[in-house]
Structures are given as structure tokens and as C-alpha cells.
Amino acid sequence: MALAASSGRLGVDASLELSSDENGGFRLPWGIRKRLLQKGISEERPISGDEVKVHLQGKLQDGNISITSSDEAFTFVIDQRPREVIQGLELGVQTMTKGEVAEFTIAPRFAYDDLGAPPLVPPDATLVFEVELMDWENKSDVLGDGRAIKTITERGSGKMKPQKGQDVVLSMKVTSRKGAVLQEHVELEHTVGAPDFGTISPIILEVLRSMSQGERCHVLLRRFASDKIVDTAHSGADVDLTLVRIFEISDISPEEDGTLMKKFLSKGGETGETCRAFDEVVLQVDQVTDGAKDVKFSGCCVLDFPLGRGVVCDALDFAAATMCVGEEAKLICSAPLNFQEARLGLDSCVEKAVIKVKLTSLRRGPHFQELQDSALTTKIDEAKDAAATLFKTGRFALALEVYRRLSASLDGKSEVQKVQSICELNQAACYLKLAKPHRAKELCDRVLEKEPGQVKALYRRASAEFQLSNFAAAMKDLTALLKVQPNNSEARAMVEQLREAQREYTKEAKAAASRMLGEKADA
């Protein structure tokens, strides 16, 4: 049967492209032509890795030689390496549905190229196959050693697959070879990789990592001698597993440092309004724990507040600004200063907080882009005053976020370019307080490109360089500043601090050099 791929050259390696045609969204590459002879009975199609079962008849295009004609089913795995059939058949079958019959005309570059397959297929031969797709299944060896063979029984949707540590909802039934139910879970919320399923937990981890949302699969377990994963009870057992849901988690902390994560529970209605900077929102808090147990939370709490005013803790303000009406989420907070909120029973003693929230409504005023003249000035001043108050009270992260929101809201309005520079300078001040001098320096650089000699930008960049121990660069900025404002007391004070730091650095460097030379002398 001349179906197997030649051991010689196989022409180009190709793949299917998405399109909207009779092949179900796939466009066959040039060199493979399909003619539908009989429609299939389903909508699903096999994909890479599936084991397909077909009836087929093949011949040379001129009809002189019959390559294969069999009443028996022929099976092969799509994209198996080494290939079990010519590439033209692999690609063609992926456009078919169960029960479909089609004719494929396959150019040499997707068959046996210029080598042929003597004695049946001459060089540079075009082949014609009539193919009936009978069935297929997807089998994979989960651990690569035969202990767990997975078969997909119903495909899921989407490309996202859960990773270790991600939360999912699953249903699972484990049945022994004698039919006894060993484990059964219905819509269990599970953290991928957690040892919730006893000795077979490592297998379930790997199976879940290969699944998409909505997928159902069957896993056959096999035990080896002295096996610690598949124990005696699970030898020959069947696992029926459904991945009901994958919880999407995003990092919504301002610096994307993982200190505030949002786990989506419900994304809200399709028409749900999305929050804009400085909207007034109503946020319902349903549950507060420290990740394991409830804290001093008195029950469902409804908070009505304007964004960016510091009325609620930073974590709730950051979260609400990312939500749309109707959305439900769990917030995982690991920076205590950001989630201290007396109304939720959260104080400095709680090191981690998990807060379940729902954005029930919002009230939206005119946006910055819609305002002009005095109305615009008033709204800008309100936001600046709120950020300044937050800064003075030590809430630097939220102050930084308010300046960011204000800057983004004014983007494109030429009449407020000066306000943009003020926002950037104040963000730099926040970064200095948050011990992130690199970010502060970047913002000052941006302002000084537009306004060379800007005093506050020079001072704050000097402060950033000082924190970075770039003493010469800091002194250069302070010198430039003092040429503009010779009596600037803050700049003069920093000059003295710099000189002291340089003297201390020189002293330590000399001591280190002496120690090194002394060690060499002793050696």
C-alpha cells in the first residue's frame, strides 16, 4: 500500500490557513485540490494529533495505476513524526467531517516529490485519492511512559489552557477496573497542581494542563511495579474528566508586581459600562478572608465612592477602575498597606486579603475630552487636589495612579500640555517615595526634553540619581538648577548630602582596597 511518506524528500512543509469556505474555515495550500462527493454528518473536524480512520482509494492522475483500494479501514495519526501518510492526505483529512467523502488531487510536492515511490509511483507524479472519513479520536500519552493514556471525548473551546497555580472548576469520576467508584467530584473548584486527588494528583495536573475550557476526556491508568503515582487501587482505573471552567486571572497592581490580582468570576453583561477615570461607582463586597478564613467582616457591604479620591482602600479603588457594571471578581491582595479598610475588618495585622466584589452600578459625569475652558480647569484642579492630598497622607501608590489617570484623560488636548508635565513631575515624586528611582528618572527626562532647565525636573532627577548612587550625574543636575535659582535651599542641602555621600564612598572604597591588598600581601 503506497501511502506512507517516502523516506526521501517530501517537498515543502505546509499547514492549513483559516478562511471562510466550504472546508469549514480551512484553506488548503496550492497543490491540493478538494472536490466534495458526499457531505458529512457532523460539524467537528479532526486536528493535529488525532488518530483518524478512513476508507480510501488512490490512483495516479492519468488513471494508469491503482495505488490502493481496500474495503478495510486504514488508520493514521495526523502530524505523526515520522509521517504515516503523505502530507497531502494529512492536510486534506483535516478539512473533512465524519461520514464525508471527498476527492483530493495532490501535487507531487505534497506527495512523493521528484523521487516517487518505486515501483508504483513514478517521480513527479500527481495523485488522486477518494477518501471517506469514518471516525477519529485524540489519544495522548500524558506522562510519556504509558501510565496514563488520554482520549478526548468532547472538544473544548478557545486556546487558553490552565497553568499550575491557576483556579479551575472541574468534574471528575474515577472508576476502578471492577466498576467501583474511587473518587467523584461535581463542579469542584480546584487549584491546578494542588494534591486534591491523592496519589494520582500529578497525573490530573498534566491532564488539566492539556485541556481547554469545556473539554471532556477519558484517561486510562496503568500501574507499573512499585509505582507511587498509580497505586494498586487505581491500576486499570478509568478517569472521566470535564474541565468546566478556567478562571481568568490578571495582575491589576499599578506596577504589575503581583501584589493585586483579579480573578474573574463573572464578566458582567455584554452591555455593561466600563469605568472611566474619576467615575462614581457602587461596589458590593460579599466576602473577605485572609485566604483561609474569614476576618472581622460583618457581612455584605455596599460602598458608594468616587474613583481616585481615597474614600476606600487603594486595592478597591484600583480594582473598581478595571471593572464593568455587573462584573464579579475576587481580589487577591498581598500588600497590606493597599488593603487596610476598617469597614471590611482589614487592618495592619492581616498580611493577605481575598475580597469578593461586584460592581453594581456607576454614575458617569462629563469626560475631560468633552469639557472646555473653566469646566475643564475645575475638573483638572479637583483631580490634582485629590492626588496632592493622597500624597501628603502617604498614599503614594494611589496618588501615582490618580496622576496617571489624569494624564491619560488629557491625552491629545493641546491646551493642557503644561498640566501633562505637572502630572509627569508629580508621578516622579511618587516614584521617589516608592523607592523606584529608575521610573522617576525616566519621567524627569521626558519633561526636560520638552522644558530644558525645568527646576523641579532637575531637582527630582537629581534625587533619583542620588538614590541610584550616580553621584556625578546628580551633582550635574543640581549645578544646572543652582544656576537658575542660586538660593534654592533644597538643592543646596542635597549638594551637601551628595558631598558627604561621596566622601563616605571614597573612604569605604579605600578601606576595601586596603583589605584586598593586605590579603594579597599575606598570601
- pLDDT number for residue 271: 58
| Amino acid symbol at 39 | K
- Beta strands of 225-276 (E only): which ranges? 238-246, 249-251, 260-267
CA–CA separation, 493 and 482 (whole Å): 11
Nearest-angstrom CA–CA distance, 155 and 37:
27
Task: Say what the pLDDT of residue 291 is.
Answer: 67
Cα–Cα distances in angstroms (integers) from residue 319 to residues 58, 252, 253, 261, in the given order: 62, 7, 9, 9
Cα–Cα distance for residue pair 103/126, rounded to 1 Å:
13
Say what the pLDDT of residue 2 is: 46
Domains and CATH numbers, the chain: 17-136 (3.10.50.40), 142-246 (3.10.50.40), 249-363 (3.10.50.40), 368-505 (1.25.40.10)
Instruction: Describe the crossing of helices 373-392 and 417-433 by its angle, rounded to 10 degrees.
Output: 10
Parallel, antiparallel, or unpaired: how do β-strands 280-289 and 353-363 relate? antiparallel
Q: What is the pTM of this model?
A: 0.67
Q: What is the 3-state secondary structure (H, E, C) of 440-483?
A: HHHHHHHHHHHCCCCHHHHHHHHHHHHHCCCHHHHHHHHHHHHH
Instruction: For 125, list phi and psi in degrees, rounded to 5.
Output: -95, 135
Q: What is the pLDDT of residue 13?
A: 58
Question: What is the chain's alpha carbon radius of gyration, rounded to the nearest angstrom?
Answer: 33
Q: How many CB atoms lie within 10 A of CB 91?
A: 23
**Per-residue DSSP letter, 244:** E
DSSP secondary structure code for residue 433 in this structure: H
Q: Which residues of 317-342 are buried (b: 16+ CB within 10 A; e: fewer)?
A: bbbbbebbbbbbbbbbbbbbebbbbe
Cα–Cα distance list, 19 to 101, 235, 351 (Å): 21, 45, 52
pLDDT of 414 reads: 65
Q: Which stretch of DSSP H or E encloses residue 498? A: helix 489-522
- Please state, in angstroms and as integers, the Cα–Cα distance from residue 130 to each residue in 25, 297, 468, following that order: 21, 69, 72
Q: pLDDT value at position 43?
A: 83
DSSP state of 188: E
Question: What residues are paired with 341 via a beta bridge?
Answer: 346
pLDDT at 75: 84
Q: How many CB atoms lie within 10 A of CB 493?
A: 10
Lookup result for grid cell 472581622? 296
Cα dihedral 319→320→324→326 (10° resolution): 100
pLDDT for the residue 1: 42
**Cα–Cα distance, 163 to 286 (Å, whole number):** 27
CA distances from 52 to 34, 45, 103, 128, 401 (A): 18, 10, 17, 19, 55
Residue 32 sits at φ, ψ, to 5 deg, of -130, 120
pLDDT for 522 equals 46
Question: C-alpha grid cell for residue 503?
Answer: 566622601
Look at the chain and count its residues: 523
CB 288 within 8 A of CB 366: no
Contact 149, 141 (CB under 8 A): yes
Q: Report how far residue 118's alpha carbon sits from residue 50's, in angstroms, rounded to the nearest whole number.
A: 29
CA pair distance 128, 117, nearest whole angstrom: 15
pLDDT tens, the chain, 523 aa long: 446 554 444 445 566 664 445 555 578 999 999 999 999 988 888 887 788 899 988 889 887 666 664 566 788 887 777 888 899 999 999 999 999 999 999 999 999 988 888 878 889 999 999 999 998 887 888 888 888 889 888 888 888 899 998 899 999 999 999 999 999 999 999 999 999 999 999 999 999 999 999 999 999 998 877 777 888 888 889 999 999 999 988 999 988 888 999 999 988 766 567 788 888 999 999 988 886 666 678 788 999 999 999 999 999 999 999 999 999 999 999 887 788 888 888 877 778 888 999 999 988 877 777 777 788 888 889 999 999 999 999 999 999 999 999 988 887 666 678 888 999 999 999 999 999 999 999 999 999 999 999 999 999 999 999 999 999 999 999 999 999 999 999 999 999 999 999 888 888 888 888 777 765 544 4
DSSP state of 416: G
Degrees to nearest 5, angle at CA 95 with 93 and 97:
85
